[in-house]
Amino acid sequence: MPDAADTATSAHDAKPATIPAATPVATSWRDRLKAGLSRTRAALTTPLGELFSRNRIDEALLEDLETTLLTADCGIDATQWLLDELKSAVKKNALESPSQLRQVLADRLTTLLAPLEQPLDVTAHKPFVIMIAGVNGAGKTTSIGKLAKYFQSQGKSVLLAAGDTFRAAAREQLKIWGERNGIAVIAQESGDPAAVVFDAISAARARNIDIVLADTAGRLPTQLHLMEEIAKVRRVIQKIDATGPHEVLLVLDANIGQNAVQQVKAFDQSIHVTGLVLTKLDGTAKGGVLAAIARQCPKPVRFIGVGEGINDLQPFRVDEFVEALLTGPENTAA
């Protein structure tokens, strides 16, 4: 069995494969996170600064706060929960100054998002099989490459399965990732995605590989035949390893805001999503969607992405996220 089959890019592919450049080592993740969340932070902190500098806490302030949270795509459910918590804190602690609400908001937002912080443990199985799904354009294939690099940095050996047999550019991109990082890629020019993943797991067993990252073709939840196909990939994995897949990651583009909630629900119904990767937070003011996910369809957020650099995908940590969301780079130490 070859490590990689022909992966020539076909003429109909929309764009050539690209590989993110390395992030400058001198820039800390905390700084990159703050910079990446700048648009969402601006949507929150600019009006919040005005709100919290008012003379008193009243109904008008709370209404404006509600508008601010909805604008950041926190969603109706999460926004109402946060408002109820703030009102309760005002009453319980006899708060009078709006400036006192800022820390209460940070605390409650941390409480809301804390259940989503569940680091991925890849030591329970070998190979640890991770199936990655998502719609076209979510950043799925690029995220796989970044994940591979991340796991390598943790001392793990990785193998890539190019399960997107429809798009030659996706296979080419994974092949480039493999070549640059010394990672084997199991791929076919065409054929059954489930067969590719099956071969990859077999190869990983033979080579004592720690982690298999299995790509799948992008699809919309409304494309029922494609959703059935990805469900088939899951069933085939279970045939070769009854405990697998050990993680089913759904890659979400933060730019879609509230639509992310519907994607989580739809993919979960078909393939039992166990974790999320939220990408492109640096390009949107809708980072509050994590609050909506926490209330409506809570799934562990394993990783978040805030840039194009190879190191710009990192594990989700709620304290870092809330700090970066509500505090600018100039206000806290790196």
**Three-state SS sequence of the chain:** CCCCCCCCCCCCCCCCCCCCCCCCCCCCHHHHHHHHCHHHHHHHHHHHHHHHCCCCCCHHHHHHHHHHHHHCCCCHHHHHHHHHHHHHHHHHHCCCCHHHHHHHHHHHHHHHHHHHCCCCCCCCCCCEEEEEECCCCCCHHHHHHHHHHHHHHCCCCEEEECCCCCCHHHHHHHHHHHHHHCCEEECCCCCCHHHHHHHHHHHHHHHCCCEEEECCCCCCCCCHHHHHHHHHHHHHHHHHCCCCCCEEEEEEEHHHCCHHHHHHHHHHHHHCCCEEEEECHHHCCCCCHHHHHHHHCCCCEEEEECCCCCCCEEECCHHHHHHHHHCCCCCCCC
pLDDT of residue 183: 92
By the 8 A CB rule, do 231 and 270 touch?
A: yes
Quickly tell me which residue has 């493999």 as its tokens: 178
What pTM was computed for the model? Answer: 0.86
Q: Determine the Cα–Cα distance for residues 138 and 253; give it in Å rounded to an integer.
A: 5
User: What is the length of the chain?
Assistant: 334
pLDDT of residue 330: 43
User: pLDDT averaged over consecutive 10-residue blocks of the chain (334 residues)?
Assistant: 35 42 61 86 82 87 91 92 94 88 92 96 96 89 91 95 80 85 85 88 96 86 75 89 94 90 91 94 86 95 89 92 74 38
pLDDT of residue 257: 85
pLDDT of residue 316: 95
Q: Determine the Cα–Cα distance for residues 188 and 171; give it in Å rounded to an integer.
A: 8
